Amino acid sequence: MSTAAILVALVSFVLGALLALLTIPVLVWLERRIAGLTQDRLGPNRTNIFGFRLGGVVQSFADVVKLLLKEEYYPSHIKNGKWLFMFAPIITFAAALLAFMAIPFADTLLIDGEALRIQPLPIDFGVFWYMAISAIGVLGVIFGGWLSHNKYSLLGAARAGSMVISYELPLGLSILAFIITYNTIDFNAMVQWQSGTLFGFLPAWGIIVQPLAAIILIVALFAETNRNPFTVAEGESEIVAGFMTEYTAMKFAMYFMGEYVAMNTASAVIITMIFGGYQIPWVSTEMLQENFSIFAISIMLIMPIIVSILIRWMQKNNTVRPSVATDDGRNFETKVLTIVMIGMTLLVEAILIYLAFLTDSALANSLAITLFQIVVFVVKLMIFNMFFILIRWTVPRFRYDQVQKLGWYYLLPLSLFNLAITAIIIVGVTS
């Protein structure tokens, strides 16, 4: 293995870990902001570090510190399996994190004729890896509920286990339909397949090619991640906190973070399989490479417009009520963030000018395209995470019987029907 391959592998792994972990505070902030929006309130807006609130994001970091410093509590009635009781949250968190590592963030990078994957785990069986690893996460829930020796925890764990049984089959069958369509189990190859067009003008995304399978996939992943309307395993209004009832401090934090990493992973799988992954519609990696100057100029024109809109929005909203005597440093925060955003814009513009007009390096152009695709992936990822959060705060929780009925009576027959139709069409086209 060459030095370049080792460096790219390390950078990809670190990037994957950062995307999975550092997005947690942002997702928690989005959760609270969207919840505040739907409930006609502000959400987190006070906690700050030297006057910097970052729109309320600092509150998420304060919560991390709080959970780190809280006293660890072990229920006295837990006599046997105490070590597994402690380890159970780690299973759930680690499974969600490892499943995320199979997702590609950009197209392969060519260095000295060597194709290098921008993927934390550069494997060509990413679909199987995701299905195998993500299914392990429920074991942490079951172990935690069972070993808590709490009737509410046990009931929540039983519900989580039954959810896996009811939704794993439709999920697997919908993914199988995509495997047959794309003729691959490699996530990167699936994204490449979606870079084409249908009928010459429609992007060949999975949502268009396999609309029924896409809907089943999204619904099943909502259930797999225990997000509303499928939060029956931790239904606060029914069973206190479900399988997490006896967990506190960092043990609770591991379950808490595992939920957001699982949501992040589910969003990454959805955009990779049915929304083109790191690709933008009608523009493949080859087209970006062949028309790099046009691509660079387009970014140079679009970026200042987007940044100016963000700055104006921040200046308008990063204020306090007129009745408040002091702005609590918000004007200073706005000025600093404005300078930072303008500085970053100028830096990116200078780099693009250099790459587009002052150098002919194919490697530099390829790196620029790779960075652009990573940004596209992250934007899509955050948009779908916001969709997860919006659904949670706008759709009521299903009853347990409704959850089971949806899985067994509707999703399973529909997934079998879709798989049969897909097989017939594929065989008819290829024969």
For residue 347, with 0-12 CB atoms within 10 Å meaning exposed, 13-18 middle and 19 or more buried, which class applies? exposed
Distance CA 427, CA 370 (A): 36
Please report the DSSP string for 173-240 in residue order.
HHHHHHHHHHT-S-HHHHHHHTTSEETTTEE--HHHHSHHHHHHHHHHHHHHTT-TT-GGGG-HHHHT
Give me the pLDDT at residue 64, please.
80
- Split at pLDDT 50, 70, 90, the class of 215 is very high
Distance CA 271, CA 104 (A): 11
Asked if residues 292 and 366 have their Cβ atoms less than 8 Å apart, the reply is no
Query: Which of 211 and 360 is assigned the larger pLDDT?
Result: 211
Chain segment 347-397, per-residue pLDDT in tens: 988 888 888 777 777 777 888 888 888 988 999 999 999 888 888 888 888
- Split at pLDDT 50, 70, 90, the class of 342 is very high
Distance CA 38, CA 58 (A): 21
pTM value?
0.87
Query: Which of 27 and 4 is assigned the larger pLDDT?
Result: 27
Give me the pLDDT at residue 162, please.
80
- Split at pLDDT 50, 70, 90, the class of 403 is confident
Asked if residues 48 and 161 have their Cβ atoms less than 8 Å apart, the reply is no
Tell me: pLDDT of 2 over 80: no
Tell me: pLDDT of 112 over 80: no
Query: Which of 399 and 344 is assigned the larger pLDDT?
Result: 344
Distance CA 347, CA 325 (A): 38
- Split at pLDDT 50, 70, 90, the class of 289 is confident
Residues 225, 25, 152, 88: is their CA dihedral positive or negative? positive
Query: Which of 197 and 310 is assigned the larger pLDDT?
Result: 310
Buried b (16+ CB within 10 A) or exposed e, 377-408: beebbbebbbebbbebeeeebbebeebbebbe
Chain segment 306-340, per-residue pLDDT in tens: 999 998 888 887 776 555 555 566 777 788 888 98
Q: How far is CA 377 from CA 20, 167, 210, 318, 347, in A?
A: 13, 27, 21, 28, 22
Report the percentage of the chain scoring pLDDT > 70. Answer: 94
Tell me: pLDDT of 297 over 80: yes
What is the pLDDT averaged over residues 58-72?
Answer: 80
Please report the DSSP string for 79-103 in residue order.
-S-HHHHHHHHHHHHHHHHHHHTT-
Asked if residues 267 and 19 have their Cβ atoms less than 8 Å apart, the reply is no
- Split at pLDDT 50, 70, 90, the class of 231 is confident
Tell me: pLDDT of 212 over 90: yes
- Split at pLDDT 50, 70, 90, the class of 343 is very high
Where in the chain are the domains? Answer: 3-282+360-430
What is the pLDDT averaged over residues 9-23?
Answer: 86
Write the CB contacts of 414 (distance below 8 Å, at least 6 apart in sequence): 170, 212, 216
pLDDT averaged over every residue in the chain? 83
Write the CB contacts of 74 (distance below 8 Å, at least 6 apart in sequence): 82, 85
Give me the pLDDT at residue 176, please.
92
Tell me: pLDDT of 219 over 60: yes
Distance CA 387, CA 385 (A): 5
